[in-house]
Amino acid sequence: MRWSSISSHNSHPPKPVDHASILRETSQRLGFDALGFAPAEIPPGAEHLRHWLSLSYQGEMDWMARNSELRADPRQYDAQAKTIIVAGVSSRQTSPPLRRGRIAAYAQGDDYHESLREKLTQLAQQTLASWGASYRICVDSSPLMEKPIAAMAGLGWQGKNTLLIHTEHGPWLMLGSVLTDLVITPSTPSQDHCGTCTRCLDACPTQAFPQPYVLDARRCLAYLTIEHPGSIPEEFRSLIGDRLFGCDECLDVCPWNRHAQQSRELSFNPIPRPDLTTMLSWDDTRFRKEFRGTPIFRLKRGRWLRNICIVLGNIGTSHDLPALQASCHDADPVVREHAQWAITQIQTREPTPDLPPRT
């Protein structure tokens, strides 16, 4: 808390500026769904990061293993920081997909990194900057453990699916942080309210949780469809089902969704897309034009087409075969391999009369 520099003409001392309340009011006006304050300290549980990495649970996300000491300790990332202001915006989408193929709720519209950063910048400029405090904005890609920090800031608790669960918005908050040299009284960390529930663990299609509260990312469909480069191991292809990008299974089943509403954030609104076979014919220029400014852009064309082929292999029909046959001549060998796999899957489901019967 800082004292206002405006001098008072009466006998009372100047009123203290209630930074926390002003930040909360401003955040609500800007459309944030949650806000809290954590001290810029190592969050409880951060010590598990090293163990998690030693088990290679990060798969090919090499960037998670780089600077792991820095990632676990916000003070190493920013020595000036005294407080971490954590904000959340719900990404929940309640309408079913318009076309074949599902995209995770957070990725159906514009890139949240941009919209959240923009909102956090407005928050910092309207408050911290006017008080002369420093600020540094972090959304997802900075080396910070956002979930344990958000839990420390009282936004919720890390559930058995490892996600930050908020009592009103469930697991749907997308998180962003502002590191500042201003000292703000920390919020009270929340209790774990998972109790005996195991819905998320039971619902996971790939059994990606070796134990409650721990995720082996190598088995997670969000990792496989977004982060994993190259060919997707065959054991996971049918489990991908109709998921084109990410997976919401362990979010959808959480009982803490009971009060969760559709996101108010317009940038999460789903952008309509053409059918899968149309997108399969796109060259790189068309892909970039269509997906620039969305989370799908960073997949690049190859991984997007790879994912389309898997989904068609799982839910497609003989009508999709011409498009897949064309992709068997794609310049990208991963696309060619997945298109061939998809054709085999469809032909196994719908044997054509001119093919010899399978023995």
Q: Where are the alpha helices (DSSP H) in the chain?
A: 19-30, 48-54, 62-65, 68-72, 74-77, 112-126, 146-152, 199-203, 221-222, 234-240, 249-252, 276-280, 284-291, 300-315, 321-327, 333-349
Q: Interface with ligand B12 includes 279 (CB under 6 A)?
A: no
Largest CA distance in the chain: 99
Cross-strand bridge partners of residue 243: 102
Query: Residue 14 CB, nearest distance to ligand B12 (Å)?
Result: 38
- Contacts with ligand B12 in 91-110 (CB under 6 A)? 104, 106
Q: Which does 174 bind (CB under 5 to 8 A by kind): ligand SF4, ligand B12, none?
A: ligand B12
User: Pick from 49, 182, 232, 310: which binds ligand B12 (CB under 6 A)?
Assistant: 49
Extract the tokens encoding 94: 């309640």
Positions that interact with ligand SF4 (CB under 6 A): 159-161, 165, 194, 197-200, 203-206, 208, 215, 220-222, 247, 249-250, 253-256
User: Pick from 163, 178, 232, 346: which binds ligand B12 (CB under 6 A)?
Assistant: 163
Query: Among this protein's residues, is 140 annotated catalytic?
Result: yes
Residue 92, phi then psi, degrees to nearest 5: -60, 130
Query: Residue 63 CB, nearest distance to ligand SF4 (Å)?
Result: 19
Computed on alpha carbons and rounded to an integer, the radius of gyration of the chain in Å comes to 23
Q: Interface with ligand B12 includes 147 (CB under 6 A)?
A: yes
Separation of alpha carbons 276 and 130, rounded Å: 49
Cross-strand bridge partners of residue 103: 245
Q: Give the residue with the Cβ less far from ligand SF4, 93 or 206.
A: 206
Q: What would the DSSP string read from start to end of 208-270?
A: --SBTTB--GGG-HHIIIII--SPPPHHHHHHHTTEEE---HHHHT-GGGTTPPPP--GGGSP
Q: Are 164 and 175 in contact (CB under 8 A)?
A: yes
Q: Interface with ligand B12 includes 298 (CB under 6 A)?
A: no
Query: Binding segment for ligand B12 among 9-17, 46-54, 117-125, 304-312 (CB under 6 A)?
Result: 46-54
Strands 83-90 and 173-180: antiparallel
User: Pick from 111, 146, 320, 330: which binds ligand B12 (CB under 6 A)?
Assistant: 146
Q: Interface with ligand B12 includes 52 (CB under 6 A)?
A: yes
User: Pick from 214, 253, 315, 334: which binds ligand B12 (CB under 6 A)?
Assistant: 214
Query: Binding segment for ligand B12 among 145-153, 184-192, 275-283, 344-352 (CB under 6 A)?
Result: 145-153
Query: Residue 322 CB, nearest distance to ligand SF4 (Å)?
Result: 31
Q: Interface with ligand B12 includes 85 (CB under 6 A)?
A: no
Which residues form the catalytic set? 140
